[in-house]
Amino acid sequence: MTSPPQEDRARRGLSGSTLGNNRDSTRQHNLSTVLGLVHSMSGVSRAQLTRATGLNRSTIAALVGELVQLGLVEETDLDQAQGFGRPSIMIQPGPGTLALSVNPDLDVVSVALVSLGGHIVNPVRFHTVRAPSVAEVVNIVTAVYTGMRTSLPAPHRIVGVGLAIPGLVDAEDGTVIEAPHLGWRDQPLSALLAAALKLPVTAANDAVAGARGQATFGAGRGASDLVYLYGGASGIGGGVISENRLIRGATGFAGQLGHTHVRSGGVRCTCGSSGCLEAEITREELIAAVGLPAGETENLEEAVLEKLQDESASQDLRDIIERQVQLLAIGLRSVVNLLNPSLIVLGGFLRILVRAAPGALDAALRTPGTRGPRENVSIELAPLGEDPILVGAAELAFEPLLRDPAGFLRPQHDGGSTPVAST
Ligand SMILES: [Zn+2]
């Protein structure tokens, strides 16, 4: 399930292009466009909506009025942040519309409610002593979600569950085809969660979810061609957005950039090949180098940077980072030559390689005399932590609502929708 082009453009931000249409027959499209802008900008003025959509002021007022009635947006205080000039009414996402994001990984199950506008409300990181089974994930998420609901303000609505998986997900039914680091194969996690929570579940690869989050809210907002690369406990995943569209491939598995070949005769990979990026560059190598105990791995970035301050004790660590930077650059060169992105966003432990060796990745990527696609690509860091994945997972759940706000909330929707969807 990919976004229709108009929705992608709506999420892209206020580019000044004409997005809307005044004909009544396109009211659904206009409602979707306006909600998409309020969502991706986390609040806009009526004047901004008028400029961005090309719709007249009375049409914008009517559309916003309908979204207010639906409880999806709120008209709030005047925007006086500028301090002078004519104030404008701000339209912000209503805080009561939420998605449940779930991201199981090797040693933690992350669960959070995310409100429209991409704000994480109450993240919970449930640590596990070993890779959780599918049944354990269902139990953990059910228990956490039950606890979360008791503290939610009324009124609220949970539109669905976005499930970010460190592995391959079936594009048709959300089945986890393979998550090698978790030891999962052909697991109907989406269906089990949908049954347990009585909510529609949409599943995708974690880095694909992260790419969507970045494209909508993060470092990648406004970039029409970006590659998101995420390094976690379960390896390295990627998501590719080209010409504003998420690249899925014939069967939905495009963007497996962790399996880009970076070294001949290299380390054996879970995919059966060897010398893949995710086999050569691992979070575990860095954890071991700084001697971080299990349970404190979310502090890895700070621990690495701290240890690098100590000149005498850190040569091993420097060597590892130097090696990882060079191998990552080899992988990125292939990615850039293949896809010609304007932006590469690095998330998870891959951030460390940029922060620990400022400029090194850039220099390795752009060898002297570089021309062509590598000349103009820039590298940015995703926000710290799991947030980009959780915000991106929520995007999966929000998609049907954003596509047709009024239709999604019609009473018959509940009876007519399928409990499980996938992307
Ligand atoms: Zn591989």
What pLDDT digit, counting tens, does each position of 207-227 carry?
889 888 888 887 777 788 999
- Please give the pLDDT value at position 62: 94
Residue 78 lies in a domain: yes
The region that residue 154 occupies, defined by phi over 0 for left and psi between -120 and 50 for alpha, beta otherwise, is beta
Going from the Cα of 259 to the center of ligand 1, the distance in angstroms, rounded, reads 4
Our count of domains for the chain comes to: 3
Pair (82, 127) in one structural domain: no
In sequence order, what are the beta bridge partners of 378? Answer: 343
Pair (280, 366) in one structural domain: yes
Per-residue model confidence as pLDDT tens digits over 51-62: 999 999 999 999
Going from the Cα of 258 to the center of ligand 1, the distance in angstroms, rounded, reads 7
E strands present in 188-335 = 201-205, 226-232, 235-242, 245-246
Residue 330 lies in a domain: yes
Going from the Cα of 423 to the center of ligand 1, the distance in angstroms, rounded, reads 23
- Please give the pLDDT value at position 27: 86
The secondary structure of 174-202 as a DSSP string is --EEEETTTTEEEE-HHHHHHHHHTS-EE
- Please give the pLDDT value at position 145: 96
- Please give the pLDDT value at position 365: 82
Pair (204, 303) in one structural domain: no
- Please give the pLDDT value at position 83: 52
Going from the Cα of 255 to the center of ligand 1, the distance in angstroms, rounded, reads 13
- Please give the pLDDT value at position 263: 96
Note whether 404 and 398 are within 8 A (CB). no
The CA distance from 203 to 252, in Å, is 12
Going from the Cα of 262 to the center of ligand 1, the distance in angstroms, rounded, reads 10
Going from the Cα of 181 to the center of ligand 1, the distance in angstroms, rounded, reads 12
CATH number at residue 68: 1.10.10.10
Going from the Cα of 276 to the center of ligand 1, the distance in angstroms, rounded, reads 5
Pair (253, 183) in one structural domain: no
Going from the Cα of 195 to the center of ligand 1, the distance in angstroms, rounded, reads 33
Residues of the chain with pLDDT under 70: 1-25, 78-88, 313, 368-370, 384-386, 412-423
Closest by CA to 188, choosing from 206, 170, 205, 200, is 170
The number of beta carbons lying within 10 Å of the beta carbon of residue 164 is 32
Going from the Cα of 264 to the center of ligand 1, the distance in angstroms, rounded, reads 13
Going from the Cα of 83 to the center of ligand 1, the distance in angstroms, rounded, reads 54
Pair (118, 201) in one structural domain: yes
Going from the Cα of 284 to the center of ligand 1, the distance in angstroms, rounded, reads 17
Residue 214 lies in a domain: no
Closest by CA to 404, choosing from 32, 53, 4, is 32
The CA distance from 130 to 321, in Å, is 27
Domain of residue 194: give its range.
97-209+387-422
Going from the Cα of 330 to the center of ligand 1, the distance in angstroms, rounded, reads 15
Buried b (16+ CB within 10 A) or exposed e, 271-293: eeeebbbbbbbbbeebbebbebe
Pair (62, 166) in one structural domain: no
- Please give the pLDDT value at position 13: 37
Going from the Cα of 3 to the center of ligand 1, the distance in angstroms, rounded, reads 29
Going from the Cα of 225 to the center of ligand 1, the distance in angstroms, rounded, reads 25
The CA distance from 325 to 351, in Å, is 11
Going from the Cα of 339 to the center of ligand 1, the distance in angstroms, rounded, reads 20
Going from the Cα of 338 to the center of ligand 1, the distance in angstroms, rounded, reads 18
Kindly give, in sequence order, each residue whose CB lies less than 8 Å from that of residue 143, ignoring residues fewer than 6 positions away.
none
Calculate the CA dihedral of residues 401, 402, 404, 405 and round it to 10 degrees: 70
Going from the Cα of 247 to the center of ligand 1, the distance in angstroms, rounded, reads 20
Closest by CA to 111, choosing from 72, 151, 138, 150, is 138
Going from the Cα of 105 to the center of ligand 1, the distance in angstroms, rounded, reads 18
- Please give the pLDDT value at position 325: 95
Pair (235, 363) in one structural domain: yes
- Say if residue 183 is exposed, middle or buried (CB neighbours under 10 Å; 0-12, 13-18, 19+): middle
Going from the Cα of 261 to the center of ligand 1, the distance in angstroms, rounded, reads 8
How distant, in Å, are the alpha carbons of 10, 121, 244, 307, 398 from that of 7? 5, 25, 10, 45, 12
Going from the Cα of 279 to the center of ligand 1, the distance in angstroms, rounded, reads 7
- Please give the pLDDT value at position 10: 38
Pair (71, 182) in one structural domain: no
CATH number at residue 311: 3.30.420.40
Going from the Cα of 312 to the center of ligand 1, the distance in angstroms, rounded, reads 35
Closest by CA to 165, choosing from 242, 215, 101, 240, is 101
Pair (14, 82) in one structural domain: yes
Going from the Cα of 268 to the center of ligand 1, the distance in angstroms, rounded, reads 8
Residue ranges near ligand 1 (ion) with Cβ within 5 Å: 259, 269, 271, 273, 276
Going from the Cα of 376 to the center of ligand 1, the distance in angstroms, rounded, reads 28
Going from the Cα of 320 to the center of ligand 1, the distance in angstroms, rounded, reads 20
Per-residue model confidence as pLDDT tens digits over 64-81: 999 999 999 999 876 555
Pair (205, 232) in one structural domain: no
Pair (235, 352) in one structural domain: yes
The CA distance from 204 to 189, in Å, is 12
Pair (240, 372) in one structural domain: yes
Going from the Cα of 249 to the center of ligand 1, the distance in angstroms, rounded, reads 18
Domain boundary among 47, 75, 93: 93
Angle at 179 between CA 175 and CA 185, to 5 degrees: 55
Note whether 353 and 361 are within 8 A (CB). yes
The region that residue 386 occupies, defined by phi over 0 for left and psi between -120 and 50 for alpha, beta otherwise, is alpha
The CA distance from 223 to 124, in Å, is 31
Two tokens, residue 422? 């996938």
